[in-house]
Chains A and B, each alone.
Chain A
């Protein structure tokens, strides 16, 4: 089986800032990482590779500075990585992003499963995986935290409010993987050496994907950020509670007593 993992590189959550002029995320001077949920998606794919010998290809749409992260995925165990990079892709909303990813997936062609992280840690919409599935016309199972291949079928456990659901489907199928559902492995030393010495990252641009400029990036986006304003949170009482720990405990208890039933 061939699994394609969609990956994004995101700025570390606490360092995320917005450019007030261009109204896009500032990516310069910020420490980046593979989007944590995508790392879980990659790990889930690699676990299937370990078990069944699946082929794993990682794709991502982003600027050339993503190259080391795509290579990191290969060092972790992916067989191939393709960076979709073109100036025209910049400023894309979820629709325009999914279009590029879906087009690349179709170009790759021979796939059985698409794995995505459930959402990115920066934009956090979670809208890209369902959009890719719609573009490709394949079924989707989202918010999955366990996946197995049984007799060529995909068996997944997806979370629901207050429970979970076990779903089995025939490939091709897209899965979005829950953040934190597994522990991503560290890059393998030998693979790291392979990446440094031999591996060549494939880069596809607008022309390679046979797309038009109006279909991608900011031009292909249907939702537009028009302004940014200061957010105000409601005021809180800000009372300080002091004393010895027993006094504090007693004061807190008095405070929370009304909320406790019985």
Chain B
């Protein structure tokens, strides 16, 4: 039952001079502006300034009005938005085609988007449709001022190297960036900018959305967590994670894991920290039984304080931790839990006493 759609032919060579401006696709998810998208205004601003062009935020949705000024406050020169009730339900094709219509009209030279789950499905769709060069998971950007080629920098495949990638033939140059790779720019409510409403033909969804519902889970996603207790192969078993969970609950943190822990089936992929998982920006990251492979260290480079517990004194994690403890987590974590519980009880008794007084 294959479709009869013909392949798009390779496009005619494009005139690169017709393509100007740096765009950041600003995602609205669950009625909130995605912080990951706002973070991209940071490199976006740098690139736009270097090649002397404007930084534009693109917003698509059924209710975007209340968010329109935010990108300006965070550094955009302009916001172009499409608001339409047919955009109430997201599908990659409908959102992708809407963005495509805008790109075809305005011809931006660069389009950046957050590598959220939605970004990672609709942005390659858009790039493919334009036969544009696209990269994933960039960690830094530069721009060749002469050719206006975007230099997309990303660590390739678990190595401690950075690949410098260009897409010189085509425009726009597209890139997805995972959340928390860039810091949020400073918010400045005195910034002014232009806001343009666009009307485009919104296609019917290809997917017959017979039923769609968003069910929120209570757990805090690791990319947003302030305190993370993370486990690796050194835990030895799924049981070890129960201990980490107990500790995490006591200190209002969440549990995460390394690729090895995911491979072993001890923790789901969505809680994996690292290059093929998520980057975290926790204030406190406690790594337990994690050896510290390059791909993991990459995911914690924005964590403020890293505490590592590992039985192997030569584990590379110690070179990349603020505090290192060589020892058996099965002894140290229970001791830590006991100490926290003891103090909490002391506090409770204190409170009782003060109430009695």
Contact = CB atoms under 8 A, between A and B. Distances in A.
Interface string A8-39: 00000110111010010100000000001000
A222 interface: yes
Given A159-B270, A161-B116, A95 B131 contact: yes
Q: Which label, helix, strand, loop or mixed, suits the secondary structure of the A interface?
A: mixed
Interface stretch (A67-75, A78-86, A128-136, A190-198): A128-136
Among B208, B265, B326, chain A packs the most CB atoms within 10 A around the CB of B208
Interface in A222-259: 222-231, 233-234, 236-242, 245-246, 248-250, 252-253, 255-256, 259
A122 interface: yes
A94 B174 CA distance: 13
Given A170-B208, A229-B164, A164 B321 contact: no
Contact of B161 (A105, A231, A248, A260): A231
Given A237-B323, A249-B336, A222 B132 contact: yes
Contact of A239 (B124, B137, B275, B324): B324
A167 interface: yes
A139 B207 contact: yes
A124 B343 CA distance: 44
A49 B220 CA distance: 36
A250 B338 CA distance: 10
A134 to B, nearest CB: 4
B95 to A, nearest CB: 12
A224 B152 CA distance: 10
B217 A109 contact: no
B321 to A, nearest CB: 6
Contacts of A134: 96, 124-125, 128-129
B125 A124 contact: no
Contact of A246 (B207, B326, B339): B339
A137 B8 CA distance: 10
A234 B183 CA distance: 15
A131 B325 contact: no
A57 interface: no
B308 to A, nearest CB: 9
A256 B284 contact: yes
B265 A95 contact: no
Contacts of A129: 121
A228 to B, nearest CB: 5
Nearest to B347: A262
B121 A223 contact: no
A168 B117 contact: no
B153 to A, nearest CB: 8
16 contacts: A95-B127, A123-B136, A127-B176, A129-B121, A130-B125, A133-B92, A135-B7, A135-B8, A136-B3, A165-B212, A170-B208, A179-B269, A180-B268, A223-B165, A228-B163, A256-B307
